[in-house]
């Protein structure tokens, strides 16, 4: 009796769009911003600095997530869209002139000179080194790139390079091309709008382009390939993220949200919002340094949800492979006897998934500690490391190898129950919101449209509550700003991205956007004194826009 909500999905196996005609390129980006000025300025600046024309400009946008927070790494579907704000990188290969008066690294194969239009991000020169590892049975030749732990802008450039090097340069005689590049961006950093994914996707694209991987005749790089490569690359800069940001930055389509699934395979289905509402992003002005606080934040949540999934699997009698790092989505699938989960498989449909998720509320009770015999029980069902190991059914050593060796966490209690409660309720809200959007689009009736928007808003508000109370990824500033947004007339408002700072997203009646922005600007204390461009930097309406592309001169 399951509902079939499935719509044709976007092919993740489409090639990356490569434009050679500027009119077509600007057409694809939409007319709401003056793209020509920015692209021309970048081209001119590149010429001034490097004394030659760029051969490519690559573009990757940031994204806003409407709903589905912290569930991509549990492999549940999410509903983001690319935004108009983006990163652009102009680039060209550099000829190595022997004995030219430059520093040493300029001469190294595959060396990079990276400049940024923003003066805060200074010029960087680096090069990969060639490595040879030989033991009795392994013989590896490749390229190594040092990515230091501290936050530096060029780390995101290096992260993109890393995967291209390891994936495409394995032979000893295979030399990567030296690259000159100039970066510019309009995605605010640390804002939850994924400037990081935009940087890593655009950097990955730059090095693919510079090494001939996007040339006609080269083996086609698909959008799906770029998502996977960028996901791996982003893990080099600190957090064990899911794939939402990279998928949204690469695959998004104009004027529609994108329902992205990761299991059993990467799919992306356009999901149109009801008409009459727009998304407004508002930066809390609290910067969320996810890479630096990951041990108590993001990475800790990754561990809590993965261990939670194992404990739940055991409680439900779901079979587990030895040392398997199962996710919540896989537990649900195996529990429900899901079929068609092989490579490229489609798995169960959305109606069936909603039905199983609805039944999980009781099952997650298994993640509460059985009894806490020593000391006072943790008020929020947190368990100690010892309890967690015992609940997993693993030996301590094995547990450490599987769950603790690849990630650093800093906690005394692990709140498996509350995290799971968020993940399952949030995964269900995503499907409910998508269903509303699809049903509304086919009904095409103004009355049901408003009802749908109100319902969408309610789901967003519930998501915020769940993020704040159960997943504990909100903060005082985000709680306040979402409340201000609701008071100012939003249908719903919530944090977007990892949280702990950064942006909120609000669904706002289209004809009230001006009024809404004024009210929020007045009510949120940190916005005092901001006006004009400074205000629109942090508080702005946005519409779903198109994913990454490349322009070839």
Cα(294)–Cα(296) distance, integer angstroms? 5
60 binds ligand NG1 (CB under 6 A): no
In the bound state with Mg ion, the residue whose beta carbon lies nearer, of 19 and 262, is 262
35-43, 77-85, 193-201, 265-273 -> range binding Mg ion (CB under 5 A):
193-201
In the complex, what is the shortest distance from the CB of residue 445 to ligand NG1, in angstroms, rounded to a whole number?
33
- Residues forming beta bridges with residue 10, ordered by sequence position: 268
- Quick one: which H or E segment has residue 39? helix 35-50
Tell me the residue number closest to ligand NG1, measured at CB: 497
Q: Return the ∠ at Cα 111 (arms to 109 and 117), rounded to 5°.
A: 160
Instruction: Say how far apart CA 184 and CA 46 lie, in whole Å.
Output: 11
72 lines the binding site for ligand NG1 (CB under 6 A):
yes
Q: Per CB under 6 A, which region of 153-161, 190-198, 348-356, 448-456 contacts ligand NG1?
A: 190-198
> Considering the complex, what minimum distance in angstroms separates the CB of residue 185 from Mg ion?
13
CB atoms within 10 A of CB 394: 20
The entry of ligand NG1, Mg ion, none that residue 306 binds, CB within 5 to 8 Å by partner kind:
none
Is the distance from CB of 46 to CB of 54 less than 8 angstroms? Answer: yes
Question: Whose structure tokens read 């092919």?
Answer: 11
* 9, 65, 111, 194: residue in contact with Mg ion (rule CB under 5 A): 194
Cα(427)–Cα(191) distance, integer angstroms: 23
92: which strand partners?
180
Nearer to ligand NG1 (CB atom), residue 192 or residue 264? 192
Name residues contacting ligand NG1, limited to 197-216 (CB under 6 A). 197
Per-residue binding letters, 236-265, with ligand NG1 (x by CB under 6 A): ---x-xx-xx--------------------
Q: Which residues contact 361 (CB under 8 A, 6 or more apart)?
A: 424
Residue recorded with tokens 């390939």: 225
Q: CA-CA distance, 8 to 200, in Å (whole number)?
A: 29
- Smaller CB separation from Mg ion, 194 or 269: 194
Binding-site member from 196, 299, 327, 506 for Mg ion (CB under 5 A): 196
Does the bond joining 264 to the residue before it have cis omega, within 30 degrees of 0?
yes
Q: How far is the CB of 168 from Mg ion (least distance, A)?
A: 25
Q: Which of 72, 225, 245, 470 is catalytic?
A: 245
Whether 180 is a known active-site residue: answer: no
Select from 281, 341, 351, 303 the least CA-distant residue to 544.
281
Choose which of 225, 234, 350, 455 interacts with ligand NG1 (CB under 6 A).
Answer: 234
Q: What angle do CA 469, 474, 477 make, to 5 degrees?
A: 125
62 binds ligand NG1 (CB under 6 A): no
Question: According to CB under 6 A, which one of 124, 184, 194, 504 is a site residue for ligand NG1?
Answer: 194
342 CA to centre of own chain: 25
Q: What burial class does residue 412 get, using C-beta atoms within 10 Å of its C-beta: 0-12 exposed, 13-18 middle, 19+ buried?
A: exposed
Nearer Cβ to ligand NG1 (57/294): 294
Q: How many residues does the chain have?
A: 553
Cα–Cα dist 168/212, whole Å: 11
Count of residues touching ligand NG1 (by CB under 6 A) = 17
Q: Does 69 bind ligand NG1 (CB under 6 A)?
A: yes
CB of 69 to Mg ion, least distance (A): 13
Query: Among residues 214 and 244, whose Cβ is nearest to ligand NG1?
Result: 244
| Chosen residue from 35, 223, 290, 415 binding ligand NG1 by CB under 6 A | 290
Residue 417's H or E segment, with its range, is helix 416-443
Catalytic residue ranges? 245
Residues at the site binding ligand NG1, with contacts judged by CB under 6 A: 69-70, 72-73, 192, 194, 196-197, 234, 239, 241-242, 244-245, 290, 497-498
- Chain positions contacting Mg ion, by CB under 5 A: 194, 196
């Amino acid at each position: 009796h399951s509902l079939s909500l499935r719509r044709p999905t976007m092919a993740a196996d489409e090639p990356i769009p490569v434009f050679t005609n500027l009119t077509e390129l600007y057409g694809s980006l939409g007319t709401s911003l003056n793209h020509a000025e920015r692209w021309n300025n970048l081209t001119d600046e590149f010429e001034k600095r490097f004394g030659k024309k760029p051969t490519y400009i690559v573009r990757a946008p940031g994204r806003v997530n409407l709903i589905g927070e912290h569930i991509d790494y549990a492999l549940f579907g999410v509903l983001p869209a690319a935004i108009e704000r983006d990163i652009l990188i102009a680039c060209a290969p550099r000829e190595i002139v022997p004995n030219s008066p430059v520093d040493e690294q300029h001469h190294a194969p595959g060396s990079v000179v990276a400049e940024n239009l923003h003066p805060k991000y200074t010029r960087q020169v680096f090069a990969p080194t060639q490595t040879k590892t030989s033991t009795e049975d392994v013989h590896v030749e490749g390229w190594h790139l040092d990515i230091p732990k501290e936050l530096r802008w060029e780390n995101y450039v290096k992260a993109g390079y890393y995967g291209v090097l390891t994936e495409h340069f394995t032979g000893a005689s295979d030399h990567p091309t030296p690259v000159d590049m100039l970066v510019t961006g309009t995605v605010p950093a640390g804002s939850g709008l994924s400037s990081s994914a935009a940087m890593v996707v655009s950097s990955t694209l730059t090095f693919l382009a510079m090494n001939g991987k996007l040339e006609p005749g080269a083996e086609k790089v698909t959008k799906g390939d770029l998502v996977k490569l960028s996901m791996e690359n982003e893990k080099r800069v600190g957090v064990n993220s899911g794939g939402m940001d990279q998928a949204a930055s690469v695959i998004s389509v104009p004027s529609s949200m994108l329902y992205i699934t990761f299991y059993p395979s990467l799919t992306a289905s356009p999901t149109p919002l009801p008409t009459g509402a727009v998304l407004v992003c508002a930066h809390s002005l609290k910067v969320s340094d996810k890479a630096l606080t990951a041990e108590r934040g993001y990475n800790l949540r990754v561990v809590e949800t993965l261990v939670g999934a194992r404990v739940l699997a055991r409680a439900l009698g779901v079979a587990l492979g030895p040392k398997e790092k199962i996710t919540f989505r896989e537990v649900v699938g195996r529990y429900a006897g899901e079929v068609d989960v092989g490579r490229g498989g489609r798995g169960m449909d959305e109606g069936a998934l909603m039905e199983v998720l609805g039944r999980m509320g009781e099952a997650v009770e298994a993640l509460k500690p059985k009894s806490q015999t020593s000391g006072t029980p943790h008020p929020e069902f947190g368990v100690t490391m010892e309890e967690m190991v015992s609940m997993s059914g693993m030996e301590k050593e094995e547990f450490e190898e599987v769950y603790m060796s690849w990630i650093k966490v800093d906690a005394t209690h692990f709140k498996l129950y509350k995290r799971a409660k968020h993940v399952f309720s949030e995964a269900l809200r995503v499907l409910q919101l998508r269903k509303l959007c699809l049903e509304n689009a086919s009904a095409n009736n103004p009355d049901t449209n408003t009802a749908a928007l109100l319902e969408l808003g309610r789901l967003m508000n519930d998501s915020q509550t769940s993020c704040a109370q159960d997943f504990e990824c909100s903060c005082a500033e985000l709680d306040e700003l979402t409340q201000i947004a609701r008071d100012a007339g939003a249908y719903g408002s919530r944090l977007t991205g990892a949280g702990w700072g950064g942006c909120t997203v609000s669904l706002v009646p289209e004809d009230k956007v001006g009024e809404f922005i004024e009210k929020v600007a007045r009510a949120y204390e940190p916005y005092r004194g901001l006006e004009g461009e400074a205000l629109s930097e942090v508080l702005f309406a946005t519409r779903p826009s198109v994913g990454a592309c490349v322009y070839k001169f």
